[in-house]
Structure formats: structure tokens, C-alpha cells
Amino acid sequence: MTATILRHEFTRTIRPILVILGLAVLVMLLGDLLGLFFGILGVVFAGLVVTLMLPVIQFFLAIDFYRSSYGQGARLTHSLPVTGRRLFWTKTLYALLMSALVGLLSLLLLFAHIIFGLNLVGVDLADAYADVQLFFYYVPGAWPAIILGMALALFVPILSMFPSVVIGSGGWARRLGFGGPVIVFVAYYLTTQVLGAASFFIPPVYDFVTADVQMVSLWHNVTNNVDEPVMPLSAVVIQLIVLAILTVWASRDMHSKVELR
């Protein structure tokens, strides 16, 4: 049944997703064309469009999840002979898979734009590649940080917006319509910001240059005038814990009760 739901989600959402991606590519090509006449600014604009493709698609998937689960089409969705928990996790899985595909497409287009921009300003590709290799040689901690950032960009929006839809569409919040999920998401955001500020005082930290994990806090580095670029790992752990609580809460809510409008 999971495969059937995934196939249904793909059939139902692929057209609007292709429309969004098509518009993004069209604007991107327009930026590249402007770059030929007005210099690098047009290419920078096109690159910005590429970076926005993933979050726009993720936001669309969250809106679609709300409409198909609690708005138009909700009765058809919940008439399926599956539990609410399976519906929630299958729809979440589909959103993550689609986000991964769009993210990969964005990376490929961004790489192509970087090459185009370098050629536009007359930079030799071999020299640029050598400089990148040299950077990662002297900053080995950059790769893990980049991979972590990409993983967070993929998982955090989906695992925060989808549970917000479920939690904000039940109980007292259901009377607020779409405002319920918005309130829950804002509460999630404020919670992570407050707890993230507390991570300033909680060890360990990750050194972006050496890739070492140091059992000190960011506060320790600041007060001792340590100039190393570091990130408090507790901020990531706090984010994961909050997301885990949200997803489990939403899974139980969607499994036990669904209040359709």
C-alpha cells in the first residue's frame, strides 16, 4: 500500500512541480541571457533563482500536504484503507524523496552556472579547480560542514512543516484554518532559536578548519579570544531532538484522530 500511496502522490503533484521548475528554469535562462549583456550580475541573479528552487518546492509540498490531508481532497485521502500514521510517514517520505531530486537538480544547475560565470569573467577553469582543491586541502573541516548543511536543508523544512500541519490542524487550532499550522511552525521556530542561543554555552564545538571536535563551548572561545571558526554541535543536536518530538507527536495525532473541515 505504501508504494500505491507514493505513486498516487507522484501522479497528483508532478504537474505543478514541473510547472514551478519550468518557470524557475525560464527565469534562470533569462538571467543568463542578461549576463551576456550586463555582466556577472545577471548570472548571480540566475544562481539565486537556482538556490530558491528547493525551498519553493518544499513549501509547495507542505501546502499540498495540508490541502490533501485537511482541506480539499482530505476525505478521499482518509478513505484509504491505511492508518493515519502510515499516511503521514508515506507522504513525508515522498516529500523527502522529491526534495532530494530537486536538490540534486539544483546542484547540477548551480555547478553549470558557476562554470558559465567563470567563463564570463575570463577565469580559467583549471585554475579555479586548483584553487578549490587548495582550499579543501587547507580547510579539511569544510567538507563535513557542507554535507551537514545540505542534509539539514533537505530534512529540516519537511520535518518541521509537515508536523506543524498535523498538530496545527487538530484540537483548538482547527478553528483557525491554515493559521493553526502557521502558529505551530512559528512556535517551533522560536523554540529552536531560544534553545539554539543556549547552545552558545554548551560544548562541544566543531572546528571548520581542522575538522576537530573540541570539548569546549562557544562561550569559552569568545571569552578567551580564540579566533578559530567553530560551530556549537549542541545546536544541531537540539534541532534534531525538537524535530523528533514534532514528528512523533504528529504521527500519533494523525493516527489517533483526524478532524476534517
Q: Comparing C-alpha atoms, which of 136, 7, 138, 19 is closest to residue 80?
A: 7
Residue 241: count other Cβ atoms within 10 Å of its Cβ. Answer: 12
Of 33-42, 50-59, 217-226, which gets the smallest average pLDDT?
A: 33-42
pLDDT given at position 260: 43
The CA angle 49-67-168, to the nearest 5 degrees, is 95
Residue 221, pLDDT > 50, answer yes
| Amino acid occupying residue 202 | I
pLDDT given at position 80: 61
The CA angle 90-91-92, to the nearest 5 degrees, is 90
Residue 74, pLDDT > 60, answer no
Percent of the chain scoring above 90 in pLDDT: 35
pLDDT given at position 173: 60
Confidence of residue 207 (pLDDT cuts 50, 70, 90): confident
How far apart, in whole angstroms, are the C-alpha atoms of residue 96 and residue 200?
30
Phi, psi of 230 (to 5 degrees): -130, 165
**Please, what sign has the CA dihedral across residues 27, 28, 30, 34?**
positive
Average pLDDT, the chain: 85
pLDDT given at position 62: 94
Instruction: Give the model confidence (pLDDT) of 35-47 as tens digits.
Output: 777 767 777 888 8
Residue 61, pLDDT > 90, answer yes
pLDDT given at position 255: 62
Of 99-113, 120-134, 193-207, which gets the smallest average pLDDT?
A: 120-134
pLDDT given at position 151: 94
Q: Which residue has the higher pLDDT, 201 or 35?
A: 201
In this prediction, residues 238-245 reach a mean pLDDT of 94
pLDDT given at position 120: 76
Confidence of residue 77 (pLDDT cuts 50, 70, 90): low
Residue 82, pLDDT > 80, answer no
pLDDT given at position 217: 87
Of 6-20, 30-44, 58-72, 129-143, which gets the smallest average pLDDT?
A: 30-44
Residue 114, pLDDT > 90, answer no
3-state DSSP of the chain: CHHHHHHHHHHHHHHHHHHHHHHHHHHHHHHHHHHHHHCHHHHHHHHHHHHHHHHHHHHHHHHHHHHHHHCCCHHHHHCCCCCHHHHHHHHHHHHHHHHHHHHHHHHHHHHHHHHHHHHHCCCCHHHHHHHHHHHHHHCCCHHHHHHHHHHHHHHHHHHHHHHHHHHCCCHHHHHHCCHHHHHHHHHHHHHHHHHHHHHHHCCCEEECCCCCEECCCHHHHHHCCCCCCEEEHHHHHHHHHHHHHHHHHHHHHHHHCCCCC
Residue 257, pLDDT > 60, answer no
Parallel, antiparallel, or unpaired for β 230-232 and 205-207? antiparallel
In the numeric block, the cell 500511496 is attached to: 5
pLDDT given at position 97: 96
